[in-house]
Amino acid sequence: MDLMNVSLTILGLLFLFLGSSIWIGLSLFLVGIAGFAIFTSSPPLNILSNILWNNTSGSTMIALPLFIFMGEVLFRSKISENLFKGLSPWMNNLPGRLIHVNIAASALFAAVSGSSAATTATVGKITVPELLKRNYSESLSLGSLAGAGSLGFLIPPSLVMLVYGIMAEVSIGKLFIAGIIPGIILAAAFSLFVMFRCIVNPNLAPCGDLKYNWKDRIQAIPQLLPVISLILLVLGSIYTGWATPTEAAAVGVAGSLFFARITGSMNMKIFRESMLGSVKMSCMIMLIVCGASYLSVAVGYLGIPAGLTRFIGTLGLSNYELIVILSVMYIILGCLLDGFSMIVMSLPLALPLIKATGFDPLWFGIYLVIMIEVAQITPPVGFNLFVINGLVERSIFKISWYALPSFVIMLLVVALLTACPEIVLVLPNKMIK
C-alpha cells in the first residue's frame, strides 16, 4: 500500500473507534495495534510493553497525579467558595460586575490546579448559581466560564505543559514561566469583551442590591489569602530553584491540605473523595497518554509523519501559512480528541516542521496549549462543555454557541503571539538561563 492509502486506513480506523462507545485511550491502542498488525511485521505487544514502561516510569510524571490531587482538595473544600466571596467586592463596580468573578476566579484557581476541567467545575459550581439567581445573562455567564475555565491549561502549573515538556524535551520550568504573560493577556481579553458587551447592553449584568465599599474589599482579602499563598508557594518554589515541578506539586498538595484543614473543610470523607477523584482522573489521563504514544509510534513506523512533513515541506509555505494550516488542523482535531491525545498524536508531525521553519519549540508549546484550550469549547468533544452541561443541564451545542466569542478571542490571541513571539519568550529567557 502507498502512504496515502495507509494514512486513510489509519484515519478511518481512528474515526471508527472514536465514534464508538470505546474509551478514547483504548481506541488509540486498538488503532495502533491494527496499524502494526496490518502494515508491518513488528510484534505489536512487544512494542506496547516498551511504550507503557517509557511513559509511566519517568519521575516527572509523578507531578501529574499530585497536581490533580491538589485540585481535587481545593474543589471539595471551602477554599473555592471563599474565593468567590473574596473576589465579589472587587469586581462589582466593573461593567459586567460579578461575571468578572468567573474570569478572575478561573485565573487564580488555574494557578494552583493545572487542570481546565477542574477549574471550570470548581468555579462554575460556585459562580453559575449565584449569577443566574441574580438574573445575569445566561449566555454571557456560561460563555465566559467556558472560555475562562480553559485558563487551567495556560496559567502555570499546567498538566498539558507537563506532557508537552516531557515529549518535546523542553524545560518544564521555562514552559511554566512562558505561560504567565499569555495567560494574563487571555484573561484580560475575556474581561474586556464582557465589559464591552455590558456597556452596550447594561441589562446583561443587572445592578441588584449588592453594594460594596473599600471596607468590604479590605475585609474580603483574607478569603483570598489561601489561594494566593498556594500560588506563591507552588510557583515560587519552582522559579527560585528551590524545587523541581514534581517537588513543587508535592508542596502544593501539602499546602492545599493545610489550608483545607484550617478552614474547617477537611475530614476523612472529603479526603477519601479527593483521593478517589484524583486516582480516576490520573488513570484516565495516563491511559490516553499511553494510548496516544503507542499510536504515535505506530504512525512513525508506517512513515506517515515523515511523509506528511515532506509533503508540507514541498508546498513552500511561509512561517505564517504553516501556522494557519496547523491551526486549522488543531481545530479539527479538537472537535474529536482531548488535549493530551492532541499533543501526543500531532507532535511527531508538527514539531519537526516548527523547528525547520525557525519557530522556538518553547513558543510552540504555548501556542499548542492555547489551541488545546480552543478544543475545550468545541463540540462534540469539548470537556468544558461537558462540565458546564453537568452544572446547568443545557445542550452541548447551546453552550458551545455561548462560548463562540471565547473561541474567537483565543484565535485572536494566537494571532498576536504568532506576530509577536517575544511575548511568550521574554520572561523565560530573562529568568532562566
**What whole-number percentage of the chain has pLDDT above 90?**
20
- Round to whole Å and give the CA distance between 21 and 9: 20
Average pLDDT of the chain, as a whole number: 83
Confidence of residue 433 (pLDDT cuts 50, 70, 90): low
Highest mean predicted confidence (pLDDT) among 252-266, 267-281, 306-320, 411-425: 411-425
**What whole-number percentage of the chain has pLDDT above 70?**
92
Distances (CA, A) of 431 to 94, 232, 241: 34, 16, 11
Q: Model-level pTM?
A: 0.75
Q: What are the two backbone dihedrals, phi and then psi, of residue 230, each rounded to the nearest 5 degrees?
A: -65, -40
Copy the grid coordinates of residue 344: 501526543
Copy the grid coordinates of residue 22: 470505546
Confidence of residue 401 (pLDDT cuts 50, 70, 90): very high
- Residue (of 192, 118, 125, 129) closest to 155 by Cα position: 118
Highest mean predicted confidence (pLDDT) among 27-31, 176-180, 249-253, 345-349: 176-180
Copy the grid coordinates of residue 156: 502555570
pLDDT tens-digit map of 174-225 = 898 899 999 999 999 999 999 999 999 988 888 766 677 888 889 888 888 8
pLDDT tens-digit map of 362-381 = 999 999 999 999 988 887 66
Give the model's pLDDT for residue 68.
Answer: 76
Lowest mean pLDDT among 123-137, 296-310, 407-421: 296-310
Q: What is the DSSP string of 71-86?
A: HHHHHHSHHHHHHHHH
Answer with the residue of higher pLDDT: 189 or 353: 189
Give the model's pLDDT for residue 407.
Answer: 95
The secondary element (H helix, E strand) that includes residue 417 is helix 404-419
Mean of the pLDDT values across residues 253-262? Answer: 89
Give the model's pLDDT for residue 309.
Answer: 65
Sign of CA dihedral 150, 376, 327, 300: positive
Mean of the pLDDT values across residues 412-423? Answer: 95
**pLDDT above 70 (res 113):** no
**Number of structural domains found in the chain:** 1
The one-letter code for the residue type at 201 is N
Confidence of residue 406 (pLDDT cuts 50, 70, 90): very high
Give the model's pLDDT for residue 409.
Answer: 96
Mean of the pLDDT values across residues 303-327? Answer: 78
Coil, strand or helix at 183: helix
Give the model's pLDDT for residue 305.
Answer: 66
Give the model's pLDDT for residue 371.
Answer: 93
**Which residues span the domain enclosing 229?**
3-12+21-431
The one-letter code for the residue type at 287 is L
